[in-house]
Amino acid sequence: MDAGDNDHRPGDPVRPLPPSQGAEPVIETHGLRMRYGSADVLHGVDLRVHQGEVVALLGPNGAGKTTTIEILEGFRRRSAGEVRVLGVDPDDGDEAWRARLGIVLQSWRDHGKWRVRELLDHLGRYYTPYGTPRRARPYDAGELLGLVGLTDRADAVVGTLSGGQRRRLDVAIGLVGRPDLLFLDEPTVGFDPQARREFHELVQRLSDLEDTAILLTTHDLDEAEKLADRIVILAGGRIVADGNAAELAGRVSGKAEVRYSRDGEHHVESVEDATGHVRELFATYGEAIGDLEVRRISLEDVYMTLVHEFESGRRTEAPSELTEVAR
């Protein structure tokens, strides 16, 4: 789609072009594994992200989200498996490759003495040689500040920004090279509700207007549902669910939670056919059934159930009904 971004630029060593980008995913991993010492953190992750797509990577702490992202960013060498990011193996990614990535990590506190606009201008300069006719690099600092709502703080010293403002500056810096692919690691931690909403609007604008693919991690399921075209749940170093919000919701809405008491003892069951199940309950136990409650399972419930099952070791294989949601 955007092969022009791989054009040879003067002054850079000639780099073989990756095969035609037509249908090539922006991120593609096969059997990605990571092992620290004797502990396996990733057990074969297969992940695809396409141009302009927003994918949310969910999972409990220690599920391997950060490790996955750091491998994709080229900050960490994998133990095994195939990885292509923008058509390049991140372990061999050169500076021209890096120029097409935007990275927003959790814990930036850097450049505290710099002024907001000064820093954005400065970091933008490095991207100048990597511009293409279709994608001018870098972003204009003033325009970018407007985009993240920091125009009135342009001359502020970075160290004096509030938590939410700092985070928005981090996002602006991640965007300054007008990336084809943006990594957002828990972008809205510490945001107040208004800042969060503004940020969500920004992310939607980015993927719509700039055709930027975004891979974000979050603990906020509402956020994932609102922002992401597709949700990937990682638990215990494996992908246990992969599908867009509607598909996942469709998958789970057939299931419902049935709560009831029988002879004073409480039961909770998750069933496909709630009505049939309840009919059966009454047919079998009649008067003994009380406190009946039928509830559709929310995304949060699915997430909690899956993660809990993985953590307690009851499930070692991904549930077949959730992994292969077709794209």
Partner 1 sequence: MSSRMVAVRAGLQRGWIEFRQSTTNGQDLWSVMFFPIISLVVMFLLRHNTVPGTGFSLGSQSIPGILGMNVVLNGMVALALSLTMDREDGTLLRAKATPNGMIGYLTGKVLSRTGTAVVGLLIPLIPALFLFDGLELGGVSSWVTLVWVLALGLVALLPIGAVLGSVFNTAQGMGFVTLPIMMLMGVSGVFYPISAFPEWLQWLAQVFPLYWLGLGLRSAMLPETLAATEVGESWRHLETIGVLGLWAIAGLLLAPVVLRRMARRESGSAVAVRRQKAMQRTM
Among 128, 160, 275, 316, binds partner 1 (CB under 8 A): 128
Q: Which of 42, 101, 171, 252 binds partner 1 (CB under 8 A)?
A: 101
Site string for partner 1, 159-178 (x = CB under 8 A): --------------x---x-
Task: Give, as ranges, the residues between 177 and 196 that touch partner 1 (CB under 8 A).
Answer: 177, 185
Q: 150 vs 21, 171, 197, 319, CA distance in Å?
A: 35, 11, 15, 45
Least distance from partner 1 to the Cβ atom of residue 195, Å: 21
Give the pairing type, strands 256-262 and 265-271.
antiparallel
Question: Which run of H or of E encompasses 65?
Answer: helix 65-72
CA distance 123 to 309: 45
Among residues 18 and 129, whose Cβ is nearest to partner 1?
A: 129
Provide the minimum distance between the beta carbon of 123 and partner 1 in the complex, in angstroms, as a whole number: 6
Size, binding site for partner 1 by CB under 8 A? 39
125 near partner 1 (CB under 8 A): yes
- Site for partner 1, residues 11 to 40, rule: CB under 8 A: 11-12
Q: Give the list of residues 6+ apart from residue 139 with CB closer than 8 angstroms, or none.
A: 124, 175, 176, 177, 178
Cβ atoms < 10 Å from Cβ of 18: 14
Crossing angle of the two packed helices 163-175 and 193-209, in degrees rounded to 10: 10
Residue reference for tokens 């690099």? 137
Which parts of this chain interact with partner 1 (CB under 8 A)? 9-12, 66-67, 69-70, 73, 75-76, 95-96, 98-99, 101, 103, 105-114, 118, 122-123, 125-130, 173, 177, 185
